Amino acid sequence: MSLVDTAIAARAPTLTLPRKRGRERTDCVADGDTCDLSRRKVGLPLPLAGEGWGGGLSASEVLMAEQNDPTWRVSSRVRANARALRKNSTDAERALWSEVRDHRLNGAGFRRQVPIGNYIADFVCHSAKLVIELDGGQHFSDQAEKKDAARTTVIKANGFQVIRFSNHDVMTNRAGVLETIAAAVAERAPTLTLPRKRGRGQD
C-alpha cells in the first residue's frame, strides 16, 4: 500500500454497513432445537380496521344486490305476462317511464312491470321499496277497487309502499306526480337524494 492510500485510509475509516440478509441457513436455539429462520413462514399482516385485501363486493354493492334481488319466486306465466305488458304499455305508462328511467328522478332506479307475488306492479323502486301504480278508468268501479285493495295488500306484505295515480293525473299534471314520487323516495331512501360530489375541474 502506498503512502497516499495509507493516509486516505487513516482519514476516512471504513463505515460499518448493515449486512445483507441472504438465504443462508441461520441456526437459532429454541428449547434446545435448531430452527431455520430463512424457512419460517411469515403470514400477511392483518388489514387495518375497515379495510381488507380486496376480491369481494363493496358494502354499497352488497346493499344494492340485496335490494335488487327479490326474495319471492315468480312463475313463468307471470314473467311472460310482465314481458307482454312492457311491450304494450299505455300512453300514461310510457310518459312516466320516460321521466323515471335511467335514474333520472333524483338518482333513484325504477323498473317497470315487475312481478310481485301473483301480481305485476307498474313501476318499482327497489332501493326505496316503493311501488307506483297507474289506474285507468276501469279501476274506478266497485269490483275493480276491491281487486286493487287485495293487490295492494299483497304488495305491502312484501315490504313495499304503494302510491296510486290515475292515467289522467300523469297526462295532465306530470310535474305534480313526479314531485309526489320524489318525496316518497326521499322519505324511504334518503341517501339516494344526496347531491353528488363534484369532481375536479367541474364548476
Cα–Cα nearest to 116, from 102, 132, 103: 132
Provide the grid cell at 84: 307482454
- pLDDT greater than 50 at residue 61: no
Q: Is the pLDDT of residue 7 over 90?
A: no
* 164 close to 135: Cβ distance less than 8 angstroms: yes
Task: Return mean pLDDT, the chain.
Answer: 74
Sequence ranges of the domains in the chain: 59-193
- Compute the distance between CA of residue 27 and CA of residue 50 in angstroms, rounded to an integer: 39
Q: Most confidently modeled of 12-16, 18-22, 84-88, 128-132?
A: 128-132
Distance of alpha carbon 152 from alpha carbon 136, whole angstroms: 16
Residue 71 binned pLDDT confidence (cut-offs 50, 70, 90): low
Q: pTM score, two decimals?
A: 0.59
CA distance 122 to 133: 5
Lowest pLDDT segment from 14-23, 26-35, 102-111: 26-35
- Residues 98-155: tens digit of each pLDDT: 999 999 999 999 999 999 988 999 999 999 999 999 998 765 677 888 888 999 999 9
* Per-residue pLDDT band at 77 (split at 50, 70, 90): confident
Q: Where are the alpha helices (DSSP H) in 52-198?
A: 59-68, 76-87, 91-100, 142-157, 167-172, 174-188
The Cα 29–Cα 97 span in angstroms is 76
Average pLDDT over residues 28-53: 50
Q: What is the pLDDT of residue 81?
A: 82
What is the model's pLDDT at position 197?
Answer: 56
User: Quick check: 176 and 169 in contact, CB under 8 A?
Assistant: yes
Element (H, E) at 9: helix 3-11
Distances (CA, A) of 70 to 66, 115, 125, 193: 8, 9, 12, 23
Burial of 195 from C-beta contacts in 10 A (0-12 / 13-18 / 19+)? exposed
Phi, psi for residue 160 in degrees, rounded to 5: -100, 150
Which pLDDT band, with edges at 50, 70 and 90, does 26 fall under? very low
Percent of the chain with pLDDT over 70: 57
Return the CATH fold of 59-193.
Answer: Endonuclease; Chain A (3.40.960)
